[in-house]
Amino acid sequence: MMKTKTSLADIAREANVSIATVSKVITGNFNSIRVSAATAQRVKEIAERLNYSPNINARVLAGKSLKMIGILVDSQPSPITFSLIAHIEKCAADAGYRIMIGQAHNSPEKLFECFCRFQQYSVDGMIVLAHEYPGHEEQIKSYFSHCKRTVMVGENYIPELPAVIINRQNAVIQAVAALQSSGRKRIGICHHADSELYFGSRGVANTLRTLIGPEHFYTCLQVEDNNTMQKSMTDVIENFILPEKLDAIFVPNDLHGAALLQQLPRYDIRVPEDVAVIGWDNEPFSSFLQPGLSTVDECVQKQAQAAFALLKEEMDNAQIQEPARRRTIEAEFIQRGSV
């Protein structure tokens, strides 16, 4: 038999008070009725013991915070995005908030639909992780430029909104300098066919093109599973590393880096003696590989902390008109045995 959900009447009956008193204690609104501290404590203890869960619609109608944060993300994010979401959830939980996740399905329109749905659920604020759609900048700006209690993470072209910006350029410059200092002269890049944004950002790709030269730019296959990834890295070796005589290569993420480290010995290519390999994201496993995979760390924990701190300020000061804020997180080049 299904257990009956605890009601305000159940709590009132056991606490020997009126339903109105229980309602005021649960919602925290004591303006229209006086409740002693002892009575309020007794009601709260009974509600907890009976596993009472307040109705969300009732809280909204009462003008109470749901203590809920919405996170907008694309349906095919980079692997490190999941770590970023986990860190945001930790920050939110520590502050007494829960999170809801909406997926954009690689569509600006779907992204805004999720945003509107979050507003219908009366979430307290939103963190947008999916908003970098090349060619749709003005569309995204029209959607979000007037939104309140919303924070962007990543490249942001909406000056009205607070944002956490990741500076990847300095880390890339350091990585290229490390390669060149060890005598590397033919440095290649491979990235996903669908989007350069998967490889950090357009800014990173442009920095690499400038430092290395546009002639060493290779598009690897979209990763779908481990077999596809291995095939992709085989293609990179046979169609790019070998014919171009590369002595160093950047790959989109550490998973690609691990796959490449696995495939290169099959072609009698040594790492780092013959070819240096640099991944992206600083996944925990990257330090356990042989050799250890050099990589770029985007410091997702710092991103999450900065994003939630900005959003908390917005939620606490929603009526205060201030210039939008920016917080920059510096990515770090991590040099290991693969360079």
Q: Which two tokens stand for residue 323?
A: 């210039």
Distance CA 228, CA 110 (A): 28
| Average pLDDT, integer, range 284-288 | 95
Tell me which of 180 and 197 has the higher pLDDT.
180
- At the fourth CATH level, the homologous superfamily of domain 68-167+301-330 is Response regulator (3.40.50.2300)
What's the mean per-residue pLDDT of the chain?
Answer: 82
Residue range(s) in the chain whose domain bears CATH number 3.40.50.2300: 68-167+301-330, 169-297
For the ranges 60-69, 155-164, 208-217, the lowest mean pLDDT is seen at: 60-69
Tell me how crowded residue 105 is: count the other CB atoms within 10 A of its CB.
14
pLDDT at 219 > cutoff 70: no
CATH number of 169-297: 3.40.50.2300
Residue 58 pLDDT:
55
Residue 183: strand, helix, or coil = coil
Q: What is the dihedral of CA 137, 143, 144, 146, to 10 degrees?
A: 120
* C-alpha closest to that of 50 among 12, 19, 11: 11
| Average pLDDT, integer, range 93-106 | 86
Distance CA 79, CA 257 (A): 13
Tell me which of 141 and 173 has the higher pLDDT.
173
| Average pLDDT, integer, range 120-133 | 80
Distance CA 122, CA 114 (A): 12
Count CA atoms closer than 13 A to 9's CA, side-chain side. Answer: 2
pLDDT at 287 > cutoff 50: yes
Angle between helices 169-181 and 202-212 (to 10 degrees): 30
Residue 122 pLDDT:
79
Using the CB atoms, write b or e for 236-270: b if 16+ within 10 Å.
Answer: bbeebbeeeebbbbbbbbbbbbbbbbebbeeeebe
For the stretch 131-151, pLDDT in tens is 666 666 777 777 777 778 889
pLDDT tier at 307 (50, 70, 90 boundaries)?
A: very high
CATH number of 8-61: 1.10.260.40
Q: What is the DSSP string of 308-319?
A: HHHHHHHHHTTT
pLDDT tier at 197 (50, 70, 90 boundaries)?
A: very low
Q: What backbone phi and psi angles, to 5 degrees, belong to 290?
A: -120, 110
Residue 215: strand, helix, or coil = coil
Q: Which two tokens stand for residue 233?
A: 């890295």
Residue range(s) in the chain whose domain bears CATH number 1.10.260.40: 8-61
For the stretch 228-265, pLDDT in tens is 788 888 888 998 999 989 999 998 889 989 999 999 99
